[in-house]
Amino acid sequence: MNVLNNLFRSLPAVKVVDSGVFNQKYVHIDLVKNDGFQNYKNATAFESGIEKYLSENDADVAFGGYNEMRNLYSRSTLFKNQNTEERNIHIGMDLWVKAGTPVLAALDGKIHSFKNNSKLGDYGPTIILEHHFENLTFHTLYGHLSIKSIENISVETVIHQGDIIGYLGDASVNGDYAPHLHFQIIKDLDGNFGDYPGVCSKSKLEYYLGNCPDPNLLLKINHTTP
């Protein structure tokens, strides 16, 4: 994994949402420290809270969430039930921005798979790209897209860095969240197709952090917190 991390560090910064938004318009957000986001009652309230946070910080995109323990998943049996250990540690990066925002391919690659993961709290429409660099193979996952983003696309289609691969969906299709992109780097998909865990349990955290590097190694967004 260190080889992969070193590759990401060596590459120029990439964007995965609207290329017209400059880095000074990004603001870091920690959902754990912002209790209102952890305990939101519905997606409309959550979206209003995100919009207020962006306005207060003169920002267009709020980002963060890698290796962040959250309680907002407890509303869904997808993450918490009587038969399995609770999954509540986020292992991708979230970029909170308006529905309809273009989503961009991080790097050259091809479409590995796509799927509408439609359960409450899940990704909704999701695209996974496969990348090959310097004898390394890895994947990037883009979750919470619009339905149209996965219509009329095909596995194996070649994608170039910066191509628009989809658009962000709203709460009606994105798993019932405020609009945002879940962006995740994955070394080994473990046989998954159109889906991969974006939230893990404490007992499996070491494995998932090893298999899913910090997305900011690629994005290189300033971590200044308001």
- Return d(Cα 86, Cα 13) in angstroms, integer: 34
For residue 33, the model assigns a pLDDT of 85
Read off the CATH number of the domain in which 122 is found.
2.70.70.10
Q: What secondary structure letter does DSSP report for 140?
A: E
Question: Between these two residues, 35 and 148, which has the higher pLDDT value?
Answer: 148
For residue 178, the model assigns a pLDDT of 94
The per-residue pLDDT for range 56-108, each reduced to its tens digit, is 999 999 999 999 998 787 777 777 776 788 889 999 999 999 999 999 999 99
| Residue 207 within a domain | yes
Question: Residue 17 above 90 pLDDT?
Answer: yes
111 — pLDDT class (breaks 50, 70, 90): very high
| Residue 172 within a domain | yes
Of 200, 162, 163, give the one whose Cα is nearest residue 80. Answer: 200
Please return the burial class of 74, using the count of CB atoms within 10 Å of its CB with bins 0-12, 13-18 and 19+. middle
**CB burial string 93-120: b at 16+ within 10 A, e below:** bbbbbbbebbbbbbbebebbbbbbbeee
CA dihedral 114, 116, 121, 123 (to 10 degrees): 30
Question: Residue 162 above 90 pLDDT?
Answer: yes
| Residue 226 within a domain | no
Say if pTM beats, i.e. exceeds, 0.85.
yes
For residue 226, the model assigns a pLDDT of 61
| Residue 146 within a domain | yes
In Å, how far from its chain's centre is CA 1?
A: 20
Q: What is the mean pLDDT of residues 122-137?
A: 95
In Å, how far from its chain's centre is CA 72?
A: 16
Question: Residue 8 above 80 pLDDT?
Answer: yes
The answer to whether 53 and 88 are in contact (CB under 8 A) is no
Q: What is the mean pLDDT of residues 157-164?
A: 98
Number of CB atoms found within 10 A of residue 169's CB: 27
Q: What is the mean pLDDT of residues 116-128?
A: 95
Overall number of domains in the chain: 1
